[in-house]
Amino acid sequence: MDNSQTEGRKLSRRRLLAGTAGVAAASAFGGSLLAPSTASAAWDGYGLQIVERNENGGRLQYYRFATSAIGWNPAVNVLLPDGYHTSGKRYPVLYLLHGGAEDFRTFHMHHNIIGLTAGRELIVVMPDAATGWYSNPVSSNTGARNWETFHMAQLLPWIDANFRTFAEYNGRAVAGFSMGGFGALKYTAKYYGHFCSVSAHSGPASLRRDFGLVVHWANASSAAVELGGGTVYGAPFWDEARVSADNPMQRIESYRNKRIFLVAGTSPDPVNWFDTVNETQVLAGQREFRAALAGAGIPHEWREEPGGHFFRQHIFTQDLNGMLARLRRAG
């Protein structure tokens, strides 16, 4: 039996004991056993130790973890659907990934994720990723920064163990903005059986075009913000195997039989070099990726919209409709 199975059985046993205690308490006080008014308290597991939490009767739940994968304590917001606490249903899950130099609060504080998902039967998981490019870096001078391990080996099974999810291919979607859009494309290809729907909102889809401009940017931004001079892919020489493994353009067959949704801006701000460089590269890379998908006969949806490198809420609403049509329905 592997460690994840052992952890899962421990969690199940804890819940069984907690449930038994709850029945006894209700009987002792002469009360009836009612559905809980809040989500059940989450447990440690899968390498995650909860060090802060805000579990409540509302939709937005907060957790912060100690983990050996990351040298500081990363956090996650879990947005529950309306009625979760009393419905008894299981729900599909969207992993929603933020851009560089943002954090787990971005979609809640700046992009109205609570309003955009109101009335939709979907759990939304929004984890920290710093400016780590959803990767385990080649080098770090600031301690462990293994974001891929944290997200895929720890957080994903922890979510399935602690919330009423469909822990299966048709129960999960992943989407992201900018660096998070790349992360969504990367995780979908590398972990083929985990996500049935992937969406990249202004996310780069080609690492090697223009002499590897996106790889250079990932190295430079992670070195400056996250890794204390270390890099995601190695410098001055890349770890070529890692680049190839993470490059959507080199994993085309890994997108077969999935829902794919791509968004890019067509007119970045000409006086803002950051906006121009980012979205010009995103647009060119997504067009290259779309051509490769079409050449392989892999269906996909795409939008090209006026403007530059920003999150488009009205397009995300369209994306949500498509996700829910593809995902297993709550029940």
Residue numbers annotated as active site: 178, 275, 309
Residues 6+ apart with CB under 8 A from 325: none
Q: Give the pairing of strands 123-127 and 75-79.
A: antiparallel
d(C-alpha 254, C-alpha 195), whole Å: 11
- Answer whether 274's CB lies under 8 Å from 268's CB: no
Q: Identify the burial level of 176 via C-beta atoms within 10 angstroms of its C-beta, where 0-12 means exposed, 13-18 middle and 19 or more buried.
A: buried
Q: Which two tokens stand for residue 130?
A: 């710093």
Q: Where do the H-state alpha helices sit in 29-139?
A: 84-87, 106-109, 113-116
Cα torsion at 249, 125, 122, 54 (round to 10°)? 180
Residues 6+ apart with CB under 8 A from 210: 281, 284
Q: Give the pairing of strands 49-54 and 60-66.
A: antiparallel
- Whether residue 248 has a cis bond before it, omega within 30° of 0: no
Q: Which two tokens stand for residue 141?
A: 């001078």
d(C-alpha 144, C-alpha 56), whole Å: 31
- Answer whether 148's CB lies under 8 Å from 135's CB: yes
